[in-house]
Structure 1
């Protein structure tokens, strides 16, 4: 037979707070026990049957993460514990808030440590306006299981859009390999590098399978266009077939994100603009599919609408 649980639902929002940000967030966790998927912790208590909560497997340092998609000031996080059994498993869970995905977001600053939550109850933890895009819950230690029947995040601010210049200038870069001193960051140095190419004034990978270059914009933007400058010294056809991908995933080093454009060709030393129609993403990747390919970029510029936060 199925056990039945009830998650407490908090319906009021204190003055100065906006809506429950989890309504627009996306959840993920370190592992999943059967059908106790991460999203069940943000279903607003609509699931009432057994396994209506999220749960990891028993593992080392299990974690659950909510991506709010934008940066907010978080005033409080409300956590509802399970009521069927094992209520003590939540003890010691850390609530962390920040903008880093290092260690899956588990290195962000701590808002609170949960000492205990009685079975089936909801406790609220004050975060004092901590700013962040990611809300993580993690239980440090071996053979731990993290079960969450509901997580709610309340705070201040709403995203608004404003026009920006070249977004790449404030980003950071990496690439799949590096040929000599043709480092990844040379593709965003503000110098199209045409007079320095023999000195490594552009970025370049080695000849390899599926070489790629990635720009981290450090926030999510609505990208209208990407401008790519090709090399002038030789081998201009090597850029042919390069894919421009934009999105928020680091799966496969970001190379599984949606495609903005495929570059058919760029003449030697020229800069071509590729329209992305407002695609939203934090990461801009260029990748050339195939064997024994080399990706050289003399400049990559990214333009669009930046997302800032109105904190009234």
Structure 2
């Protein structure tokens, strides 16, 4: 889906079924795969039946990859055979969530990557199910995509009662009461809702939740459109999918295969109806363009030694006319000497 951009585990908190000595759950998300000393920077549970470890990502993510590192000194049986489970339930301490993979193949100090496809959840568990043993994890890394809708703003073609557009991106799929936490337009022709992500994204998935109390016809049949144009309020952008199959309280995921855009629209095209959305989640990654520049400049000092300062000065100068960019060297500056006609010498760098 997406390249490994950010280790989401570093944003989270961890707990485990028990703790051996001082090898606490947080050790597995400290950013350190290995360290000097016995099981340094690892977490280890007590010797028990069904030992488990749980990561709370603090938010709902689409998780593509989990990377686990074993101890470097011994005891890989404390890492092999563990189930990786991902989801939003805390039933049985989160160990009943859907399974991504079962760990295997660990040798001392080995780091192994497990692909989870696209699994949605806030909690990542590792459990040695059906065994009495210690559970040891020296590092757990989690990569995926964030619900970027929570960073955006929303508007709609009209508003029924107090069911405003922002209700669909408040992070709550359901709530007590009639259409609680949902957005609803007025009863009109071509009702629409638009999310502005504030930046350009490559969107992999849109997840929509319908009302739990009735009126699912106000969610079925909506076109999901993604793009950068505001022509016709954004409703002329390319189509990702058309919603269907909703029943009361259903949440359905639509794959958009990396469609690029800042705006995500839902529109009941060609119909007179209310449009109701109880939550819209959008997963993807920032669309970043890379440009490569070849520089040649004169300097009497060693450009290699001060290349960081040169980059900072150039970034500051360009920042006066360009926003939201970052410069980096792709190679260390190289020196080239040129002789002048008067016999002098000039040092160029490129």
> TM-score with structure 2 length normalisation?
0.44
- Larger RCO (CA within 8 A; separation ≥ 6): 1
Larger Rg: 2
> TM-score with structure 1 length normalisation?
0.49
